[in-house]
Amino acid sequence: MQKKKLVYIWSLRNAAADKAGQNVAYKDGTRYMKSVLESLAEALNQTELGQMYSLEKVIYDDDAELAIDREKLKDYGFSYEAGKRWFYPPDLQVQGRPANEFLLAIPSAYRRHGMQAPERIAGKSAFEKHLLDTLLELDADIVVLDGLLIILDELVRPGSLFHRKIVNIHPGVTRLESPYERRGAYATLDALYGARGQKVVNWQTMETVPVKPLYMTGASFHYVDNGIDSGEVIHDVLKTEIDKEDTILELRWNNFNRSLFPVLHEGLAKIYQSGRIQD
């Protein structure tokens, strides 16, 4: 089989919350918080994954006109600047090209409008149309979402051109039948509370109820549908042990390295070898 063209889409503000590209406090020292993109670059450069896929573009949706995005990215900015903090080493290469050459901003500008505003609905549609046009121009075979902080709609509906061509990596097991299932934006925190014998039933008030402690979490690689982490699972990994004394960043570091990076690499290999990526 020939190489498949891969497009990667993320929200920089999500990576900033993880302090990607920085050394973070870990127990009695520090550890480097590698971004998922840096891990993917290494796999494409150093493993057989590079014979299966060519990275075409790295798209991010952050909006420099939104104050909340500027605040979340104040330590990074919206594009690489020499001498400033960034999400991966500035000299990072992907298949022989500088990683920064792959970057493309397509802001989700519809978020400037209120939830019920007519402009938001039209803007969301326009945003997805922009993504669609870009993916078609790139002739993308598969699209990988990493921490994209929006829910796609038109792009992933049955019958759409990219239905079952868009996959997501999630820092939690998404199978409903698994006792370790952790869907949604609070998956890592949910797992940490679970190890402490608590279940958060309201994330606004942080109300909890007691549950049997679970000391493991993992990650899933799944198709994207119109729900929240509800698409068909292609591959999952459950290899992250939880210490109830972990901080959120300590658990995040553990889960990235033990489950999330492996689920991405193994999931991409699995879907390629299965022949499920259609031209």
Q: What is the rounded distance in angstroms from the CA atom of residue 155 to the CA atom of residue 186? A: 24
**Which residues, other chains included, contact 252 with Cβ-Cβ below 8 Å and sequence gap of 6+?**
18, 33, 171, 188
- Confidence class of residue 275 from pLDDT cuts 50, 70 and 90? confident
For residue 84, the model assigns a pLDDT of 87
**Which residues, other chains included, contact 118 with Cβ-Cβ below 8 Å and sequence gap of 6+?**
none
Q: What is the rounded distance in angstroms from the CA atom of residue 272 to the CA atom of residue 4? A: 8
Average pLDDT, the chain: 96
Nearest C-alpha neighbor of 15 from the set 96, 140, 103: 103
- Over pLDDT 90: what percentage of the chain? 95
How far apart, in Å, do the first and last CA atoms of the chain sit? 11
Q: What is the rounded distance in angstroms from the CA atom of residue 170 to the CA atom of residue 182? A: 9
The number of helix segments (H) and strand segments (E) in the chain equals 8, 13
Q: What is the pLDDT of residues 150-168, one digit of tens each?
A: 999 999 999 999 999 999 9
Q: Helix or strand or coil: residue 263?
A: helix
Least confident of 60-69, 76-85, 214-223: 76-85
The mean per-residue pLDDT over the stretch 183-194 comes to 95
pTM of the model: 0.96
The mean per-residue pLDDT over the stretch 172-187 comes to 96
Q: Where are the beta strands (DSSP E) in the chain?
A: 4-10, 23-26, 29-32, 53-60, 93-94, 97-98, 103-105, 142-146, 166-170, 198-202, 207-210, 216-223, 233-241
For residue 279, the model assigns a pLDDT of 61
- Burial class from Cβ neighbours inside 10 Å (0-12, 13-18, 19+) for residue 101 reads exposed
For residue 83, the model assigns a pLDDT of 85
